[in-house]
Each structure stands twice: as structure tokens, then as C-alpha cells.
């Protein structure tokens, strides 16, 4: 293996900038290949030996695991029937328990939960590496549920029907084999199934292209085809949607990552909704909600991208277009989310990346709004308790220093009943939160949050961790993390959260400002924050570390190769790095809307300028880097991290590598493994940035 790596290193120098066919590390893309896995085990062993030998590692892992396993965490709940359900993992139940309680019981400090499904026992009995992926129970009775179980934590899952009152899987119930499926209830005896039906049934992105209607008692092979998308689509799916006493059967055809066509079942026929592909459609009671991603003229009015418009679904289908505007963005505001109760729609609005709430109701046939009193300078999320029968909703508030709280709120009132309060995992009194704005290369003001001690010395020598993402219209908002507090802040670190272009903090326009050929704007923004931190005396390059995952891992790769002088340590998680081949690996083809198509010369001309794997240079001085990925990540191919690390190591760069063998794109399969990886990352950062 050593000989092979040395030979590959020599080849790499000659292969810079050449086609993927000349890639000397292409063999590492064979995810389960014998040679590749042997290589992974060797690199893991080296990293474990080094990092776990660092003085700070053992205590860091203990502190992080204590937070993850704490019984005082808030159990997130979902109302199913008359009870409230929660999925819970701790030291005694590493794979987890699906359990339930009444609301009165949940209100208690120590509820008496009733176990519905013990995943550890199920995995042991069935000799499977099951990881919970969620449950969906059919309305109105909600006595039958579809449970998704993943082998090891990837996106692909087995879907099995569960008898909720009997607390067991149905022996003759619905079962959809392992795949990246979208399986939803049409009614109690009918499923909409989009899955891998064999050759030709998947899109280029690896998602289902065909939707079928599967009746109880039929073999899956006999299910009737409802819709077939195109090979070039992202995916298709169908769903039966229940909202505020209304039911809709909908087929969604994802024609690209940011556009879709919608088909609505009317009188037994599927009718295509008359709307542009960039307009997202959803439903609230009798109302059709429309959110354009681009400026849109409808009903004789010009509506900005990111607006939220409402019209009765029946009126829209009849050709009427007199929509009501429930939200219109401004220079500082964007729509963060919405939740529909029986009679109200609660909107979360981001105003300079801080949350506020607006409540809408229909009074005498017209929409009326009112602001909802809520804390500022933090993040609010809301979800309906039961959109068919109740105007109650769950209200969650958090910021970097305020432990998350969960309350029961009621449409029409500002009163809230506290239900749960997360404990303080660290003493927040010495710290403060500040928001600053860096000036990017083109003059754009880019916001970022800083969490630091009130008495922080502005001498540039504070160990500082800057986190970023900047893609797919994803907004990064303030959040409370006991792990961050214990492992970083309490030990003297400064934490920074960057809100760069490509994200959704200021709506679709903020995202599109860094789309495709404009991608460099995101990298300009992130590097401008690094320079602003140095200018303010918070951290110079010697004391600044950065971290990001997935698209944020690509961001880390670009910072590593194009801006190495600005940072001293990089944590690069589940990253995209080889942008020459990203569209050929796993779900990569679905992201060409975001990055462009590297097989098109015009697109490759701008992609190649930042693609990290193609921009490694022999003799360059790079900051110390830790690459972390997962063998079972079936979204972002682990080959990205494998190849980048191998190439940099062969050049003598200061790099480390860890690939977990369980867990998918999002997280490890157990708290113990999650704590190990987090401790590894923080120990690495402390070693480099002190």
C-alpha cells in the first residue's frame, strides 16, 4: 500500500489540471473496495493513535458525551392520535427508543414514558445495524405507521408498516425494500411509492423517477404506475397531505434542485398546477400557498423572490389569480418558515438573521396579521400541534447562550405555557453575543455572530473557530450547544458563525448572489470575515480555525487551497472537493443547479478555478487539516475526502483523516461515536490554535 501511495504521489504532480481519467486516486472512489477499505482502516488507526494521545482528548470526550447522553435534554415530541411521541437515545439505549406519553405526563419533570419500539432490541433480534429514520402515521386514525429504518445511517432505508396500538410490525403489512425511497400514505390501505423499481427507474441523481400506487394485499410489483418523470429530473414523489381539515393528493416532479412541477388530483385525474417551476406550492386548509424563488408577475402585480402568496386552491384551479401577500421581503428580512394551525398561519421572519413571528388569520374572508410578542436576538421555530383540530403550536427559542426552551403557544394569544427548559451545560454569564458586518470584496456587508468572553482581549491571540456553509439557501441562525460551550467556550475559545452569500439569511437573492458562476462571492465573503476578525483584534491567522461540512466542507476546501494564509487549522467534514467529478458520484448530479455542470466547458471554466482537488499545489504551505467523512454517506461520496487527503499527504502536508463506518451524511449512529469525533475535532483545534 505504501508503494502504491508513493507511485500515486508522483503521478499526481503530472496530473494536475488533467481529466478525471488520469486521477491517480480514482481507486479510492470504490467505497467498499477491499484496497480502499484497507487504506481507510490504516488512516483511521493513525489518526486515532495521534488524536487520542493528545492530553485534552479524554476529558473532551467525557464532557461531550455527558451532554449528548444527558437525561435533562428536551425530548422533542410529535402528537400522534391522543398521545405525544418522542425518539430518544442515551447511554442505556444507544440506538434509541420510540416512546410515548400524554401531554399531562410530558409536563412533569420526569415523565413516565411508555416504550413503543426498542431499536436496540430490534437490531439485536434481527441481527441488523438499524438506525432510526422516522415514522409517518396515517390520518385520521393514526393507528398504522410507516417506519423508516436505515442500515448504518445512510439515506437509503427500509420502510415497514407498524401497528401502533399493538406496538409491533405487521407480519403482512406494507414493506418497501432498502432504497432512497419516498413512501407516503394515500389512505389507510394505499401507499404512494417512489422507489428503485429496477433498471431505468432512477434519475441521474440516483433518486426515484417513477411513482406507483400500491394497494394493500397486492405485491409491490403489481402496483399501478401513476407518473413517470424524466431521467434528467432530480426525483419524483407523491403524497397525501392533510391540513386544517382538508386533504390533497399531490405529485411533485423535481425538474431541478430549485424547481418543480406540481400535479393535483381532482375528480380522479392528475392536473398540472399552472405555475412556473421556480414557484414552490404548499397548502394550508383551503388555501394554496405560493413562494416564488424568482421575481414573479401574477395577478397583475410584480412580487419579489421570497414572497409568500395565498389564494384559495379552488379559485386558483378556476383560473383566478387575485393572490394575497402574506410576506414580502425587504433588504434585511426573509421568510424563515411557516406553521399552520387549524385557523392560523404562523410565519417566522428573519430580520438581519434574528427571528420574529407574524400570525395570519382569515377574518370575514380576508387575511389579517398581527405581530406575536417573542424574545429577540435569537432563533425561533414553531410547529403545529395538530393542524386539523387545534390552534396550539410548539414554540422553541434559543440563542448561543440561552438554553433551548419549549413552550405551548396558542394562535390569537401571546401567552405561552413553558413545557421544557434545557439545562445550562455551561456558565453563560462571562460571555456575550455580538453581531458584526464584514465588507466583502464587492462592498457587500456580510453579517456574522461572535460569542466570546465579555473581557476578551483584542490582541489577535484568541483561539477562534469560524463556522460557515453558504449554499442551497440554507440559513445559519443562533443556536445553543452544550458541546460547543463545554469543549470550546469554557476553555477560552471564541466562536464565530458566518452568514455568507449562498445561504438563505436574506432570502433567494442572497442565495442566487453566489450561484454557479458567481460562486466566488461566497468565498470572498468568508475570507472577508477572517480578515475582519483580524482587524478587530479577535483572532489573527495564527489563532483562527475554520469548520464546515457538506457544502461547507467544499467551503473549507476552497479556503484551504486558495486562502491558506488566513487560517491555521481546518476541520473539513463530509465534503465535496473534487468538483470535476461531483456530478458522477452518488447524489451529485442533483446539485448541478447549485454549482453548474463540470462536463460543460463553459461551466468547468469557472468551477476549475476553485475546485479544491484540482487546486492542490506541490510546495504550498497549507494549514493543518482534519478530514472527516463516513463510509455509509450515500449523499456526498466519501471519495472526495479520501482523495484530497491522500493527495495532500503524499505532498507532505499536515493532514489527518477519519472515516466513520456507521452513520450517514448527517451524524454518527451512536452518541459514543459522535462524542469521539467531536472530541477529536476540538482536540485538534486546541492543539493548533493555542
Choose among 129, 135, 134: nearest CA to 153: 129
- Give the angle subtended at the CA of 548 by the CAs of 487 and 515, to the nearest 5°: 155
In terms of C-beta density within 10 A (0-12 exposed, 13-18 middle, 19 or more buried), how is residue 278 classed?
middle
Read out DSSP for 312-370?
Answer: EHHHHHTT----EEEE---SSEEEEEEEE-SSEEEEEEEETTEEEEEEEEEETTEEEEE
pLDDT digits (tens, 9 = 90+) for 166-197: 999 999 999 999 999 999 999 999 999 999 99
Q: Within a 13 Å sphere around the CA of 172, how many CA atoms are in the beta-carbon half?
A: 5
Query: Could you tell me where the beta strands, DSSP code E, fall in 491-575?
Result: 494-498, 544-549, 569-573
pLDDT digits (tens, 9 = 90+) for 439-477: 999 999 999 999 999 999 999 999 999 999 999 999 999
pLDDT digits (tens, 9 = 90+) for 232-269: 999 999 999 999 999 999 999 999 999 999 999 999 99
- Please tell me the distance from the alpha carbon of residue 80 to that of residue 102, in angstroms, as a whole number: 10
Contact 663, 131 (CB under 8 A): yes
Contact 359, 411 (CB under 8 A): yes
Q: Is 387 a catalytic residue?
A: no
Catalytic residue among 550, 590, 611, 630: 550
DSSP type of residue 485: I
For the chain, count helices (H), then strands (E). 14, 39
For position 654, what pLDDT does the model report? 98
Q: Is 550 a catalytic residue?
A: yes
Contact 528, 441 (CB under 8 A): yes
Band of pLDDT at residue 9, cut at 50, 70 and 90: very low
pLDDT digits (tens, 9 = 90+) for 85-143: 999 999 999 999 999 999 999 999 999 999 999 999 999 999 999 999 999 999 999 99
Cα–chain-centroid distance for residue 440? Answer: 26
Q: Is the pLDDT of residue 581 over 70?
A: yes
For position 16, what pLDDT does the model report? 39
Q: What is the mean pLDDT of residues 331-348?
A: 96
- Please tell me the distance from the alpha carbon of residue 625 to that of residue 631, in angstroms, as a whole number: 19
Please confirm whether the linkage preceding 136 is cis (ω < 30° from 0).
no
For position 667, what pLDDT does the model report? 67
Q: What is the overall mean pLDDT for the chain?
A: 94
Query: Which grid cell is 125?
Result: 433480534
Catalytic residue among 284, 568, 665, 671: 665
pTM: 0.92
Query: Which grid cell is 688?
Result: 493548533
Amino acid at each position: 500500500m505504501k508503494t502504491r501511495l508513493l507511485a500515486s504521489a508522483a503521478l499526481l504532480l503530472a496530473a494536475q489540471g488533467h481529466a478525471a481519467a488520469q486521477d491517480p486516486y480514482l481507486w479510492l472512489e470504490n467505497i467498499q473496495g477491499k484496497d480502499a477499505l484497507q487504506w481507510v482502516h490504516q488512516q483511521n488507526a493513525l489518526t486515532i493513535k495521534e488524536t487520542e494521545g493528545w492530553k485534552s482528548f479524554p476529558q473532551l470526550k467525557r464532557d461531550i458525551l455527558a451532554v449528548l447522553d444527558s437525561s435533562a435534554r428536551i425530548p422533542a415530541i410529535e402528537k400522534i392520535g391522543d398521545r405525544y411521541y418522542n425518539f430518544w437515545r442515551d447511554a442505556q439505549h444507544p440506538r434509541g427508543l420510540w416512546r410515548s406519553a400524554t401531554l399531562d405526563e410530558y409536563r412533569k419533570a420526569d415523565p413516565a414514558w411508555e416504550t413503543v419500539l426498542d431499536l436496540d432490541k430490534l437490531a439485536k433480534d434481527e441481527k441488523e445495524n438499524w438506525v432510526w429514520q422516522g415514522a409517518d402515521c396515517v390520518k385520521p386514525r393514526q393507528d398504522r405507521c410507516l417506519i423508516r429504518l436505515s442500515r448504518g445511517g445512510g439515506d437509503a432505508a427500509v420502510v415497514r408498516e407498524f401497528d401502533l396500538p399493538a406496538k409491533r410490525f405487521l407480519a403482512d403489512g406494507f414493506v418497501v425494500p432498502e432504497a432512497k425511497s419516498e413512501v407516503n400514505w394515500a389512505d389507510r390501505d394505499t401507499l404512494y411509492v417512489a422507489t428503485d423499481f429496477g433498471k431505468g427507474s432512477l434519475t441521474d441523481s440516483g433518486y426515484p423517477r417513477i411513482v406507483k400506487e400500491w394497494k394493500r394485499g397486492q405485491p409491490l410489483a403489481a402496483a399501478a404506475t401513476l407518473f413517470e418523470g424524466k431521467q434528467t429530473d432530480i426525483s419524483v414523489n407523491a403524497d397525501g397531505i392533510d391540513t386544517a381539515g382538508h386533504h390533497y393528493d399531490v405529485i411533485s416532479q423535481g425538474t431541478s434542485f430549485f424547481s418543480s412541477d406540481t400535479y393535483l388530483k381532482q375528480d380522479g385525474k392528475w392536473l398540472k398546477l399552472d405555475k412556473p417551476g421556480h414557484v414552490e406550492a404548499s397548502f394550508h386548509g383551503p388555501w394554496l400557498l405560493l413562494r416564488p424563488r424568482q421575481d414573479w408577475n401574477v395577478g397583475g402585480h410584480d412580487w419579489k423572490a421570497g414572497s409568500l402568496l395565498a389564494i384559495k386552491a379552488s379559485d386558483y384551479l378556476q383560473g383566478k389569480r387575485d393572490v394575497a401577500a402574506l410576506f414580502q421581503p425587504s433588504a434585511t428580512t426573509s421568510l424563515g418558515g411557516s406553521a399552520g394551525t387549524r385557523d392560523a398561519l404562523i410565519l417566522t421572519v428573519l430580520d438581519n438573521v434574528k427571528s420574529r413571528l407574524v400570525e395570519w388569520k382569515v377574518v370575514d374572508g380576508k387575511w389579517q396579521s398581527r405581530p406575536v410578542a417573542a424574545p429577540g436576538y435569537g432563533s425561533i421555530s414553531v410547529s403545529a400541534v395538530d393542524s386539523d383540530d387545534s390552534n396550539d403550536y410548539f414554540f422553541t427559542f434559543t440563542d448561543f447562550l440561552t438554553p433551548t426552551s419549549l413552550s405551548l403557544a396558542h394562535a390569537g394569544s401571546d401567552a405561552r405555557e413553558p413545557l421544557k427548559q434545557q439545562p445550562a451545560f455551561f456558565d453563560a454569564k462571562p460571555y456575550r453575543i455580538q453581531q458584526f458586518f464584514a465588507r466583502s470584496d464587492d462592498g457587500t456587508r456580510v453579517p456574522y455572530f461572535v460569542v466570546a468572553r465579555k473581557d476578551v482581549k483584542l490582541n489577535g491571540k484568541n483561539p477562534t473557530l469560524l463556522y460557515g456553509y453558504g449554499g442551497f439557501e440554507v440559513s445559519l441562525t443562533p443556536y445553543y450547544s452544550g458541546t460547543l460551550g463545554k469543549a470550546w467556550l469554557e476553555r477560552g475559545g471564541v466562536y464565530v458563525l458566518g452568514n455568507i452569500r449562498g445561504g438563505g439569511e436574506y432570502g433567494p437573492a442572497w442565495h442566487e448572489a453566489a450561484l454557479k458562476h458567481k460562486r466566488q462571492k461566497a468565498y470572498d465573503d468568508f475570507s472577508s470575515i477572517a480578515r475582519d476578525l483580524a482587524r478587530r483584534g479577535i483572532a489573527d491567522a495564527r489563532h483562527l480555525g475554520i469548520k464546515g461540512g457538506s457544502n461547507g466542507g467544499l467551503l473549507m476546501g476552497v479556503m484551504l487551497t486558495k486562502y491558506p494564509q488566513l487560517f491555521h487549522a481546518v476541520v473539513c467534514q463530509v465534503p465535496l472537493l473534487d468538483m470535476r467529478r461531483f456530478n458522477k458520484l452518488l447524489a451529485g448530479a442533483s446539485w448541478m443547479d447549485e454549482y453548474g455542470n463540470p462536463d460543460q466547458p463553459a461551466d468547468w471554466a469557472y468551477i476549475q478555478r476553485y475546485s479544491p482537488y484540482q487546486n492542490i499545489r506541490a510546495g504550498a504551505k497549507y494549514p493543518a487539516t482534519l478530514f472527516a467523512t463516513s463510509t455509509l454517506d450515500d449523499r456526498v461520496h466519501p471519495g472526495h475526502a479520501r482523495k484530497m487527503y491522500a493527495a495532500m499527504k503524499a505532498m507532505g502536508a499536515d493532514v489527518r483523516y477519519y472515516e466513520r463506518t456507521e452513520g450517514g451524511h448527517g451524524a454518527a449512529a451512536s452518541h459514543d461515536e459522535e462524542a469521539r469525533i467531536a472530541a477529536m475535532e476540538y482536540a485538534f483545534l486546541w492543539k493548533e490554535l493555542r
